[in-house]
């Protein structure tokens, strides 16, 4: 994916809370960094002056970046003269952004006195510095990233943006929607250029990509206005539905609908036809499903991806061995549950029983899909019933459970979260892919709800966006190890809160989900560094998880096109658990899990090294207060 596209870089993020609050925090959380040190009024005045200058710098750069991203403007609810445009996906713009990152980093280092900043501003300084350094590190590898894949599917991302982000509240908004329909061709042409740049250095998306991304592109050319005998296509239906809410006469609506149909049948269709032709051409050349070891400088690229996704630098071999150890530990816990429920046979047989038992699946019907949505919603409501025992601050934004729209199910992952809009007009959404209910197991639905919904991604992201007292760039920035580590930790937290009592098979499902993340450490390093073939990766996951075959295949193919990302879950979770253990040991009776969660989450998303500094500062502040 392109590193310069601001909207697409809105990652899964982290919520933010108060540090060390002994009573319920205020309704709107405020970022506070405490080290337990005292400052004089003169020191405070110096801090305030430098803090204000730094804050102005961050505000200047944030607004500059927003002004260059029409997509992010729309996400923020801003309607400007760019409302009918798309971001610039060209390599020329990527180069401009890289030069800007270097210039911004130079300004940070030369214009500000780090030692004169308050602790809160020092945190923002370090996070901004890390972000620029990461962007500069990643730039040279931009053509190694697959420009199109099931996890970076431009053909469905653009229509999803129009459906979910582009609001139509007046005639001008409708005209801007039409402008975006016509402008999609330029974005797709820039994507094709990215594919060709990758091809020129020997980077072609592997075979597994095309059966997923080609149907999603082809689906966009079905229905009216492409097929005169059929119903409205996806976007024409969306546009027609949004027009219904406008107070326009029939003639005006008919004109707008005709203009939309012309944009779709003209430049929109041409752009998709060109992308489809390019994907078919590359499919004929993609004769392997190798990991990135097969790419030019693949070893160095993989090291970059590990650092990018985990925010740590660890040898591949060490990560692989860590995964093997975790797989062994979790297998032993699974064995205990198998014995508890009285299953006769070995763990492999138990896995097969879980995969094949009809009791572990909902009906593959609309009724089964609705039942899943109801139960997942009830699980999330159960979290809110006990949340006050574990958190000082809860998100204001509501959370909904929804089915992935059928037109984009083929390329979508099993489950994922969409953040709420900052202006409150759109809730947080936990999406579940229900195309094939035989790939959605009942036993894991608790963990999925806690991970993707509450207290996982929804808590971290919604509260982060509601945070007061930090620069805007930190409200929307993120690190996979932080956000996915927190979400995986949330699965375990729900278990520790007693939400699995009396449900051994659901607890087995929780272990199965943690096992999936442990297996990822082994498989991701295996396929990308140890040259494991696709079949070996599938066999290893099949032998160590009870996942349905369809889900295993979908997971493995995801790891191939996002090298290193699968490592971030377990590495992030284990870091949080290790820091929690440190806090418990050092604070003893003064330890409060709500305050620990505040300390982990109070500053939004941070790299793992910075998180460790935050927890150490929290521990010291508690010791100082107690002393």
Q: d(Cα 72, Cα 66) in Å, to the nearest integer?
A: 6
Query: Could you tell me what percentage of the chain is helix, strand and coil, using 3-state DSSP and rounding each to the nearest 5?
Result: 65, 5, 30
Per-residue DSSP letters for 34-93? --S----HHHHHHHHHHHHHHHHHHHHHHHHHHHT-HHHHHHTT---TTTT------HHH
Per-residue DSSP letters for 155-190? HHHHHHHHHHT----SHHHHHHHHHHHHHHHHHHHH
The alpha carbon of residue 450 and the mean position of all alpha carbons in its chain are separated, in whole angstroms, by 15
Token readout for 520 is: 């990822």
3-class SS of residue 432: strand
Instruction: Please choose, from the candidates 561, 604, 20, the residue with its C-alpha nearest in 3D space to the C-alpha of residue 292.
Output: 561
The alpha carbon of residue 57 and the mean position of all alpha carbons in its chain are separated, in whole angstroms, by 27
pLDDT at residue 45, rounded to an integer: 73
Longest dimension (CA), the chain: 79
Burial of 123 (C-beta count, 10 Å sphere; 0-12/13-18/19+): buried
Instruction: Please choose, from the candidates 604, 597, 527, 531, the residue with its C-alpha nearest in 3D space to the C-alpha of residue 566.
Output: 527
- Over the chain (627 residues), the average pLDDT of each successive run of 10 is 40 28 40 50 76 97 97 94 98 98 98 95 96 98 96 94 95 98 98 98 95 94 89 96 95 97 98 98 92 96 98 96 98 97 96 93 96 97 96 93 89 86 90 91 96 96 89 93 97 98 97 98 98 95 92 90 97 98 97 94 89 95 90
Per-residue DSSP letters for 547-582? --HHHHHHHHHHHHHSTTGGGHHHHHHHHHHHHHHH
pLDDT at residue 11, rounded to an integer: 36
Q: d(Cα 25, Cα 392) in Å, to the nearest integer?
A: 6
Q: Compute φ and ψ for 16, nearest 5 degrees.
A: -135, 140
Half-sphere exposure of 67 (CA within 13 A, CB side): 6
pLDDT at residue 12, rounded to an integer: 31
Instruction: Please choose, from the candidates 443, 440, 414, the residue with its C-alpha nearest in 3D space to the C-alpha of residue 362.
Output: 440
pLDDT at residue 273, rounded to an integer: 98
pTM of the full structure: 0.89
Q: d(Cα 149, Cα 206) in Å, to the nearest integer?
A: 9
Q: d(Cα 515, Cα 569) in Å, to the nearest integer?
A: 11
Burial of 287 (C-beta count, 10 Å sphere; 0-12/13-18/19+): exposed
């Amino acid at each position: 994916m392109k590193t310069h596209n601001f909207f697409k870089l809105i990652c899964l993020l982290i919520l933010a809370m108060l540090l060390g609050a002994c009573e319920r925090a205020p309704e709107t959380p405020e970022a506070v960094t405490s080290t337990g040190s005292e400052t004089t009024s003169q020191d405070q005045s110096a801090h305030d002056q430098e803090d204000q200058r730094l804050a102005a710098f961050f505000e200047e750069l944030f607004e500059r970046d927003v002004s260059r991203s029409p997509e992010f403007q729309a996400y923020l609810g801003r309607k400007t003269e760019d409302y009918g445009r798309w971001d610039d996906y060209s390599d020329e713009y990527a180069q401009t952004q890289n030069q800007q990152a270097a210039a911004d980093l130079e300004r940070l280092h030369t214009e500000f006195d780090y030692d004169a900043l308050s602790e809160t501003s020092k945190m923002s300084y370090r996070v901004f510095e890390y972000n620029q350094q990461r962007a500069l590190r990643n730039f040279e590898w931009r053509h190694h990233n697959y420009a199109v894949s099931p996890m970076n599917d431009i053909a469905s991302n653009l229509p999803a943006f129009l459906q979910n982000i582009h609001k139509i509240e007046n005639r001008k908004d409708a005209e801007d929607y039409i402008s975006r329909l016509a402008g999609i061709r330029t974005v797709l042409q820039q994507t094709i250029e990215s594919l060709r740049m990758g091809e020129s250095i020997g980077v072609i998306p592997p075979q597994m990509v095309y059966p997923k991304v080609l149907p999603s592109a082809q689906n966009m050319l079905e229905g009216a206005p492409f097929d005169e005998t059929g119903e409205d296509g996806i976007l024409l239906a969306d546009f027609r539905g949004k027009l219904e809410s406008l107070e326009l006469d029939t003639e005006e609506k008919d004109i707008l609908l005709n203009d939309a149909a012309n944009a779709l049948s003209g430049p929109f269709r041409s752009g998709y036809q060109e992308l489809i032709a390019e994907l078919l051409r590359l499919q004929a050349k993609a004769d392997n499903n190798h990991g990135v070891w097969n790419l030019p400088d693949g070893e160095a690229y993989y090291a970059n991806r590990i650092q990018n996704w985990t925010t740590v630098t660890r040898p591949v071999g060490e990560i692989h061995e860590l995964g093997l150890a975790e797989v062994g530990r979790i297998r032993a816990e699974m064995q205990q549950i198998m014995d508890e429920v009285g299953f006769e046979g070995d763990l492999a047989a138990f896995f097969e029983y879980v995969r094949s038992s009809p009791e572990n699946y909902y009906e593959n019907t609309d009724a089964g899909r609705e039942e899943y949505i109801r139960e997942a919603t009830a699980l999330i409501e159960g979290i809110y019933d006990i949340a006050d025992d574990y958190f000082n601050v809860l998100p204001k934004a509501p959370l909904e459970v929804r089915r992935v729209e059928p037109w984009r199910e083929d390329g979508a992952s099993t489950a994922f979260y969409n953040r709420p809009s900052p202006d409150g007009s759109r809730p947080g959404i936990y999406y579940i892919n229900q195309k094939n209910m035989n790939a959605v197991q009942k036993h894991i639905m608790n963990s999925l709800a806690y991970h993707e919904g509450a207290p996982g991604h929804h808590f971290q992201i919604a509260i982060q966006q509601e945070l007061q007292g930090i620069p805007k760039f930190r409200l929307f920035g993120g690190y996979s190890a932080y956000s996915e580590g927190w979400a995986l930790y949330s699965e375990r937290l729900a278990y520790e809160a007693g939400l699995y009592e009396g449900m051994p098979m659901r607890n087995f499902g929780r272990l199965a989900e943690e096992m999936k993340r442990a297996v990822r450490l082994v498989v991701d390093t295996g396929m990308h560094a140890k040259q494991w073939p696709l079949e070996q990766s599938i066999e290893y996951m099949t032998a160590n998880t009870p996942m349905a075959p369809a889900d295993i295949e979908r997971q493995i193919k995801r790891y191939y096109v996002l090298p290193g990302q699968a490592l971030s879950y377990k590495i992030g979770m284990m870091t949080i658990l290790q820091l929690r253990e440190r806090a418990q040991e050092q604070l003893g009776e003064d330890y409060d899990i709500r305050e620990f969660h505040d300390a982990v989450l109070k500053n939004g998303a941070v790299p793992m090294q910075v998180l460790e500094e935050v927890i150490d500062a929290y521990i010291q502040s508690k010791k100082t207060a107690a002393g």
